[in-house]
Amino acid sequence: MFCRNCGSEIDDRAVFCPHCGVATSNEMQPASGKTNTMSVVGLVLAFFFPIVGLVLSIIGLRQCREKGESGRGLAIAGIVISILEIISVIVICIVYAIVIVGILNAAGGGTV
């Protein structure tokens, strides 16, 4: 393809002309102006109820893909945050269990 400003030959996938810097017609167009509500709700709930946030973020990500709505990044962030929170809760529970068993062993003379 050729630049519409300077006429130089440029790559068909170029977003800007490397010679004059003018944007080509390949400029990425934003998705619809609507942000997917499920993605936003999933991200918010990921902080307080990670399992619910995970489910809603997955649904939001899928809806963004199907409907062409924006909010894909929010959905991905909700998924990542939910997974990290779930893993951290599991690790904390394991650590607490180990500490409690250690305390009981020390207090009871090793009989558990």
For 32-56, the pLDDT digits (tens) are 578 999 999 999 999 999 999 999 9
If one counts every other C-beta atom within 10 angstroms of the C-beta of residue 55, the result is 17
Q: Please determine, for residue 26, whether its predicted confidence score (pLDDT) is greater than 80.
A: no
d(CA 105, CA 67): 57
Q: Please determine, for residue 112, whether its predicted confidence score (pLDDT) is greater than 70.
A: no
d(CA 71, CA 82): 16
Break the chain into its structural domains and give their ranges.
1-30, 37-108
For 85-110, the pLDDT digits (tens) are 999 999 999 999 999 999 999 887 65
What pLDDT is stored for residue 38 in this prediction? 95
What pLDDT is stored for residue 102 in this prediction? 92
Q: Please determine, for residue 18, whether its predicted confidence score (pLDDT) is greater than 90.
A: no
What pTM was computed for the model?
0.64
d(CA 27, CA 14): 8
